[in-house]
Structure formats: C-alpha cells, structure tokens
Amino acid sequence: MNRSHPLAVSYLNSTLFMDTQELKIELRNLQSKDYKDLKKVMVESYDGYEDEPWRLKDIKMLLKKFPEGQICVCANDKVVGCALSIIVDYKKFGDNHSYEQIVDDYSFNTHDPDGDVLYGIEVFVHPDYRGMRLARRLYDARKELCESLNLRSIIFGGRMIRYGEHAENLSPKEYIEKVRNNEIYDKVLNFQLSNDFHVKKVIRNYLKNDVSSQDFAALMEWNNIYYEEQEKHINQTKSVVRIGLVQWQMRELNSFNSLVNYIDYFVDAVSAYQSDFALFPELFNAPLMQEYNHLGESQAIRQLASFTERIRDVFIEKAVSYNINIITGSMPLLRDGSLYNITYLCRRDGSWDYYEKIHITPAEQDSWGMRGGDKVKIFDTDAGKIGIMVCYDVEFPEISRRYADQGMQILFVPFLTDTQNGYMRVRSCAMARAIENECYVAIAGSVGNLPKVNNMDIQYAQSAVFTPSDFAFPTNCIKAEATPNTEMTVVADVDMDLLKELHNFGSVRTLKDRRKDLYELKWKGKD
C-alpha cells in the first residue's frame, strides 16, 4: 500500500468450502511400480468393474514400447489419473477401424515409433478427484507430447455414452450436433469438444458390447498446428510465459462468498487464456471492512486479518482447479500479536509460499501498527524463477537486486495507490527495477471508489508489464498495460530466452557490469 490515508475495516462471517492446503499435484510419466495405485483408480473409475481393465503385463508392455506416452497425474505421490497412448502409422488403419485393431489384442504391436499419429487408448481419473481439471492436464500433456514428437495429430475413439437414451429418435450425427449445441450433455463428448478436439467420423462397432453408446463411437481428432516445432517435454521450463493481471474494481460486497465469486470469475477469465500466472492487487479484499467502519482503524484492520487464511485457501483451491499459478495480492495477517502485510504464491501443483511486505509506509505504521517482514527469497515455479514485492517495496532497489542475484526472471508487484503521485512512484520504480535487473516486472492495482469503507473512497491504478530496455524489447519498456482506472484484465506473453540473450549479448549488461570491486549488497536479514 502506498496511500495518503489508511483504511478502516469491516468483517463478514463465512466458512471455507474446501481445504486443499495439503494437496500436492504432480504430472509425470507412469512407472511399473505405480500399478498398485493405478489398479485402485481403475476399479473406482469403472464403477466397480470386476475384471481388471488393464493388467500389469499390459502396462509393462506399454512402458516397454512407449514409456513417454504413458502419463499419470499424482496427488500427494499417489496416482489418481492416467492417460495411455501409442504412436501409429494411421494410413494402415484409416478412419474405419476398431479399438481391438488399434491395441492388437493388447500386444501393442501396432505401435510404430516412425508413425504420424499419437493414438489415445485410455484416459481415466479417480472419481474423488474429478472436478479439479486433472483430465485436462493429462490431455494438455498429450498435446505437448504430440508437438515434441512432431506428430501430425492426436486421434482416439470417444464413447457416445448417452446415445443409447436417444437412439430411437436421433441418428448419431443428430446426437453429436445436439451435444455440440449443448442441447444434450454427454460428459465424454462435451469434454473432448471443449478441449479443441473435433469429430472426424462416426464409427460403428468400435468397442464391443458398449451398450450405452449402441456400439457407436465418435472418432476424435486434435491437429498439431506446430508440426515442425522444436521438441518439448512435460514439465520443461517454458521459454514463453503468459502473465495475467487483474485490475480489480473496489465495490461493495455483502458477504465473504461474494468476494469468492469475484475471485473465481477473474481466475477463470485469466486461466481461459492459458496464463501461467495471475496477479491480484494489494489489499483487494478491503470491501470486507464495510461492517467495521465504527471501529478504530487498528481494530478494524485486525478484523480484516481474520479473513486472510480462508482467502488463501480459496486461492490454493483455484490454483489447482484452474491450473494456474496465483500471486494473491496482499492481505493483512495477524501473527503473535503483530500485524503484517502478506501475499501468497499459490502454485498450480497445490503447494504455496508467502512473502511479507518489507517496507511499511508511514500510514501503515501510524494508523495500523503494521510491521515489516524480514525474509526475502526467490520462488521457484514451473514457469521460471520469480520474486514478489508489495507496493512501497518496489521503491527500494536492494531487495530486487538480491532477487536478481538469485536468478529472478519475473518480479510481481501488487500495489494500492489513491493518487497519481503514489501510482507514478510505483510505476517509475517498477520500470527501473526491470532495467537495472534485466527482468520482467508485472504490477497490478485496484481502481474505482468504495464510499462505504472509511478512507477507501478513491483508487488509482494502471496495471502493466514492464521489460528491460534493449533492441529485443519495446522501446518504451512497456509490454502491455491496462486502461487507467478501469476494471479489466491484462494478458501478456514474456520471452525468457530474450532475457538470457540480454544477460550475455545486450548492448549494455547491467548485471555483469556492476563494479563489485567497489561495492556490494550485503544481506543482514533472514534467509
């Protein structure tokens, strides 16, 4: 926060709907030792199917022939979902084939490393973990594999699981059209269509004794538009990272759940563009202080602090569910009688970390009794190394320089300013941090008015992503920016490879050219 006046506080009672603090999500290749867990998932996924859909010897054969194509998702080191596939020379089969022909009596002799199509032979997720978009992760991993192996497409036969209910009145073509138009809900077909697959053909007698589908299947296809793309692998650090900024509108909220609904809306909106990060502003939850305008300032802010851990848990759940890393903005936290301004990093694998604002403004100290934190560390994510600072922190160059020495690629700065003066301090210093540390800097703030919360009547912000200054970057160092004082999101791509080139071959090399023989940064705080 960087304001002329402090906030007053209100409190609304609610409960958290889901606790995911201990959930650790991992995507990796399947191994033979996973079969015990895999078998349990299969039994639950197939609604008590007595025979083993996949025998151990089948899994071993797949792993022997094509280990890269067998992908699993784990929760707390236990397999909870799986996607199995092989590579085929598709012209040998054509569009009229059966599942048995593809798997060749589970010998998988049809697997051809020199083939052109990644054929999906199985996907399942444990019922207890459905609704967390884990199947989407498995499909995304398949797409990455298809690109990395330079294969033409992904193809599989999708069951039409509700066609049996409509077979008397609808042809397979009519059924698919109604599913596409959301007139009929088919959880399998709807999911495939929403994941950029299209129906290539309808096949009869694809899977034996598939009563619910009346022996029909929709041959689904996803085309690899990057057919010549350089090889990539699952969980490889990305070269291009997508950042989503939430320029949050301060508004009256009548309940904790209303805040959660807005959080869900913005996370959904940013993740829909396949963003790797979402950044919320400093003290974005201030509208919850409305009911406590009658309290003194220090008492009111402590009431707001009572929401913080519940809001954190909401963000943890959203990060996993929407497959996005979230910097939560900042919130007040009361610990051992002391008040801190804290922001959380909620990773999409279910893990989380935090940063406490180091530099507290005079208003925060005098009116609220806030204290500054004493820990600064780099944060590792699946999309690179990041640093976090809160508003006023960015006006001090020492912390970001410590981050830079630890390999920071992106600096995230949630902020809250009421005047253009305060905003320009944050903006100008954020740009300076990008130049001097040869990194990207993303800032996000709140806008609008909040008349029913004391001292929150005016907000001013223009969220933005800043770059270093060199030939590979925009001449004004602005990668993207929001419209001032308008609620919106900003989505921007930043190229990590450009930073590597800048560090070594830039027209100036700020980090390398420091005179360490004359000066150095000495850290006295906690590691």
- Positions annotated as catalytic residues are 282, 357, 391
Q: What residues form DSSP beta bridges with 154?
A: 118, 222
Neighbours of 166 (CB within 10 A): 18
Task: Break the chain down into helix, strand, coil percent, rounded to 5.
Answer: 30, 25, 45
- Alpha carbon distance 493, 511 (integer Å): 23
Per the CB < 8 A criterion, the answer to whether 348 and 132 are in contact is no
**Residue 33: CB partners within 8 Å, gap ≥ 6?**
none
Please give the C-alpha separations between residue 324 and each of 305, 492, 497, in angstroms, as whole numbers.
25, 15, 21
CB 307 within 8 A of CB 252: no
Q: Is 362 left (phi over 0), alpha (psi -120 to 50) or beta?
A: alpha
The DSSP letter of residue 494 is E
Question: In whole angstroms, what is the distance from residue 22 CA to residue 7 CA?
Answer: 33
- DSSP letter for 375, please: B
What the block records as the tokens of 371 is: 């204290």
Which residue's structure tokens are 């599989």? 156
Q: Are 437 and 431 in contact (CB under 8 A)?
A: no
* Pair 81, 72: CB distance under 8 Å: yes
Backbone φ/ψ region at 495: left (φ over 0), alpha (ψ -120 to 50), beta: beta
At 388, which helix (H) or strand (E)? strand 384-388
Give the closest residue to 207 by CA, choosing from 123, 105, 98. Answer: 98
Contact between 215 and 207 under an 8 Å Cβ cutoff? The reply is: yes
| DSSP-derived 3-state class of residue 361 | coil
